Structure 1
């Protein structure tokens, strides 16, 4: 079975250089960082995050004709950047949705919605690599009003995804199907997984960007006080992160324990560490090759914590 590695950066207007935020030398919570995958939200939806429930990021590789079979309740956002490839997702065996490159597709799988089981199929002639962010919390399916429709004028996400064959037309992204396809199961690799420590549903607006970043930080890392500019979930991959929101508090986040990064906060690591961050609702067209943070002043009782260790 052949496997390919795809460049996951968004193309065109989304693949621009980024200017470092002011005072980056005092607030640089980036470390070594690269984009894993990014996509443009396809319609409005609320991504559910619940305390005690797991968030998992997976990489899937499907050769032509291969499938991924989804089992059990969950909420999934899926993204891929293969310009030559098309996936077909069956939320159940009575309906199908085409997954094109660059949009980020939302699927709420539950018994009540009739989507407890489903299949994603690669009908293309090329291998497709795609990524999913999966929550054990059960989301609400998109309503008819939340579903993406072709607009009356082109927008960046539509141009990138080739979604303007009939400008001004109305298109239903979900159509009827006569059963789910069968085939060999493709390759699935877990990149990171963690139980979240708090509940924080994230409201997504159509055409905003979602990006998964991979961070590698050295021993003795100190981020400086900062706030993420957009909602961000952190899922450790290796080592341990020590997170403070004040001078006299702190929480340890080893592998398997995740959190929503809400500022002002300070992230440190006594040893080398690695983690994924998932940033939601980035303004469409904003360059995403580096995450964006706002430097914050340290608490007045501990100004020395602004300095790197």
Structure 2
């Protein structure tokens, strides 16, 4: 088991259909799907405000895990856009050395780095007393800053903290980023790249709604694996990290997907592997409250004109 796994499960396909009872019989899996595929929930978080996460064909996206011991930092350099999911405790984020924001556990924070904003260089630091695990999804593309209508608003049961978005006595929103007077220094945190790939084809459009969920999964499939046709959560993208997988949407449109390639995992798809393989998926805009321990898997019928060989 990889050291970054959080929760894991086994199923006859990528995961059991969430609309079925957890004890659904194996016969509910699509024909031709061998048993033994394993899916691991790496992490998940709630979007802290709305935003459009930028992707582009030919541009790279990287998923990383950082372990920050007390006093350690993650240093941000270069233009791009990051969604950060802080899993186990508070962190202090400095988008630049002139501003700072509190990152609490489990929100997914949207961070744009650009020359125009003066945020090309920044630091995230663990100022607490225990280690903190931070997951990041970083695109090489510079995104748009959250607008007034996208800013996170606290619900009635949330208590604003320093650096959070609250409301003043007049009910006006308070900026989550407050002034700072220099970036802290420290030893660099331990960082592991979980997946990275350059987008091939048209990437999905990712418009996130405040409080909706983002989830990262790792899938391990055995040699000879065949999922049968299914629909994942829309919108999802995938990055192979070991071995090769082949995807199909029609009868004969086989596309081989290799490590270093990122692609949209569109609805009504079939995934198979001649040899054992692993790939990472990121599911976006999952409705708040929807269970993410298992990725959404909806079995689909194959195209009506496909030969039986499509399930080989």
The answer to whether the superposition gives a TM-score over 0.5 is yes
Quick one: distance in 1 between partners of 2:58 and 2:28? 34
Aligned to 1:188: 191
Aligned pairs (5 A) from 1:27-176? 31-82=37-88, 85-151=89-155, 153-154=156-157, 158=158, 170-176=173-179
Aligned to 1:277: 281
Aligned to 2:24: none
Quick one: distance in 2 between partners of 1:6 and 1:180? 28
Aligned to 1:15: none
Aligned to 2:12: none
Shift of 1:210: 0.3
Shift of 1:148: 0.9
Quick one: distance in 2 between partners of 1:164 and 1:19? 37
Aligned to 2:229: 225
Q: Which of 1 and 2 has higher RCO (CA within 8 Å, sep 6+)?
A: 1
Structure 2 unaligned regions, length at least 5: 8-15, 21-26
**Cα deviation 1:106-161 (Å, max 9, x = unaligned):** 1011112221111111111111111101111111111233121223x33xxx58x9
Aligned to 1:209: 213
Shift of 1:233: 0.8
Verify the 8 A CA contact 2:101 2:177 in the aligned structure 1.
yes
Quick one: distance in 2 between partners of 1:164 and 1:7? 31
Shift of 1:172: 3.0
**Cα deviation 1:25-51 (Å, max 9, x = unaligned):** 018799201111110000000011111
- Segment drifting more, 35-44 vs 170-179: 170-179
How many residue pairs get aligned? The number is 289
Aligned to 1:14: none
Shift of 1:21: 4.1
Quick one: distance in 2 between partners of 1:242 and 1:204? 29
Verify the 8 A CA contact 2:234 2:267 in the aligned structure 1.
no
**Cα deviation 1:197-232 (Å, max 9, x = unaligned):** 123330000000000001100001111111123210
Question: TM-score of the superposition, structure 1-length normalised?
Answer: 0.86
Quick one: distance in 1 between partners of 2:45 and 2:309? 35
Question: TM-score of the superposition, structure 2-length normalised?
Answer: 0.85
Verify the 8 A CA contact 2:233 2:283 in the aligned structure 1.
no
Counterpart of 2:148 in 1: which secondary structure? Answer: coil
Shift of 1:92: 0.9
Quick one: distance in 1 between partners of 2:175 and 2:116? 22
Counterpart of 1:145 in 2: which secondary structure? Answer: helix
Evaluate the alpha carbon distance shift between residue 236 and residue 99 of structure 1 in structure 2; reply closer, same or farther with a 3 A threshold.
Answer: same
- Segment drifting more, 141-150 vs 94-103: 141-150
